[in-house]
Copies of this chain bind each other. A is one copy, B any other.
Amino acid sequence: MLKRLLVALSPFGVAMAVASVPAHAQADPLASWIDGAAKARIVAFVKAATEPGGKDFVPAADRIAVFDNDGTLWSEQPMYFQLAFAIDRVKALAPQHPEWNAKQPFKAALEGDMKVLAASGEHGLVELVMASHAGNTTDEFAQVVRDWMKNARHPRSNRLYTELTYRPMRELLDYLRANGFATYIVSGGGVEFLRVVSEELYGVPPQQVIGSSVQTKYELRDSKPVIVRLPELDFIDDKAGKPVGIHKFIGKRPVAAFGNSDGDFEMLEWTTSAPGARLGLIVHHDDDVREYAYDRNSTIGKLDRGLDEAGKRGWLVVSMKNDWRRVYTPAR
């Protein structure tokens, strides 16, 4: 009703109407979430975890929340954004690497053969980035990523990739932090790629980003110390690797986990199978108007077992279509 009222008012009237909205509604930290069961469940969890003396109270030091990135905090269709980055990099570096014309996955990247590339999954793209940037220092690599983020655009929306984060999820990050949670990103993607923008996009500093990585080496170049990227995988932070990564980097079991695909299954399982207040949440991509609709049959972000088992495991499945008032910022 309030909405209809606002629509009917003149510009001057709107200002007055806004002023008369109750304070709690204006200050709603989850304003992009439609008032419904999903939002209520999130709020109830946070209330239970933070209520002193409550039976599910979680001390501040243990309030650890972990978020997948691709498909959970920003879009991942029609391809992982880091794959778009890798393709652009392979193209840029190709003149110095004639051998790539005959070698996969470089050949597929140069020819734009998305099927071959998509099938290689997050592992494949880490390898692509790995090989094309071996020998770079970590500082050089970060600069390349920074430059790309400033210019590269999403093929369908033509927006900067950095504009394609989910507003409701950013609100959720802020809301959890305001309630004393430490928020971590636990991504299958490359950690050095994501750390460049994690603070700016999500308010998550580099040391709270866990991801896949290549091995690195400390050395002196022109008598200045640098850290150099090597062409060898160090760690794949996906599937059962996610709880392993969480243990390795945080050393504590989280109390809340947020994902969108079966790559997050074990992270959700690890987080929610201990006593006390726990929240496991899956973002379901069912909005082909404002974003994309995909789940069981998608190569990217496949969600199958998670959908089957969410009910019996008590995980909250969030409908992008029905639970989110808006997807991106500004609203599309």
- Given the interface pairs A207-B249, A243-B218, A244-B216, the reply to whether A225 lies near B269 with Cβ below 8 Å is yes
Bound-state CA distance A169–B209 (Å) is 29
Would you call A252 and B206 a contact (CB within 8 A)? yes
Would you call B247 and A138 a contact (CB within 8 A)? yes
Please name all residues of chain B whose beta carbon is closer than 8 Å to the beta carbon of A251 when the two chains form the complex: 191-192, 195, 206-207, 209
Residue of B61, B217, B250 near A199 (CB, 8 A) is B61
Interface centre among A213, A248, A270, A273 (most CB of B within 10 A): A248
Interface centre among A191, A207, A216 (most CB of B within 10 A): A207
Please name all residues of chain B whose beta carbon is closer than 8 Å to the beta carbon of A249 when the two chains form the complex: 207, 249
Residue of B199, B205, B240 near A218 (CB, 8 A) is B240
Bound-state CA distance A185–B179 (Å) is 27
What 0/1 pattern do residues 311 to 326 of A give for CB contact below 8 A with B?
Answer: 0000000000000000
Please name all residues of chain B whose beta carbon is closer than 8 Å to the beta carbon of A244 when the two chains form the complex: 216-218, 227
Bound-state CA distance A330–B273 (Å) is 42
Would you call B247 and A216 a contact (CB within 8 A)? yes
Is A266 an interface residue, CB under 8 A from the partner? Answer: yes
Shortest CB-to-CB span from A138 to chain B, Å, is 6
Residue of B138, B195, B250 near A207 (CB, 8 A) is B250
What 0/1 pattern do residues 177 to 197 of A give for CB contact below 8 A with B?
Answer: 000001000000001100100
Shortest CB-to-CB span from A188 to chain B, Å, is 15
The residue of chain B having its C-beta at the shortest distance from the C-beta of A224 within the complex is: B273
Please name all residues of chain B whose beta carbon is closer than 8 Å to the beta carbon of A248 when the two chains form the complex: 213, 216, 234
Shortest CB-to-CB span from A150 to chain B, Å, is 20
Please name all residues of chain B whose beta carbon is closer than 8 Å to the beta carbon of A247 when the two chains form the complex: 138, 216, 227
Shortest CB-to-CB span from A308 to chain B, Å, is 17
- B-facing residues in A199-227 (Cβ within 8 Å): 199, 205-207, 209, 213, 216-219, 224-225, 227
- B-facing residues in A229-251 (Cβ within 8 Å): 234, 240-241, 243-244, 247-251
The residue of chain B having its C-beta at the shortest distance from the C-beta of A270 within the complex is: B225
Bound-state CA distance A217–B224 (Å) is 38
Would you call A227 and B243 a contact (CB within 8 A)? yes
Would you call A225 and B273 a contact (CB within 8 A)? yes
Shortest CB-to-CB span from A28 to chain B, Å, is 28
Would you call B266 and A218 a contact (CB within 8 A)? yes
Shortest CB-to-CB span from A67 to chain B, Å, is 15
Please list the 10 inter-chain residue pairs (A to B) with the smallest Cβ-Cβ separation, ordered nearest first.
Answer: A206-B251, A218-B240, A207-B250, A218-B243, A195-B251, A227-B247, A225-B270, A218-B244, A216-B244, A225-B269
Interface of A toward B, CB cutoff 8 Å: 61, 138, 182, 191-192, 195, 199, 205-207, 209, 213, 216-219, 224-225, 227, 234, 240-241, 243-244, 247-252, 266, 269-270, 273
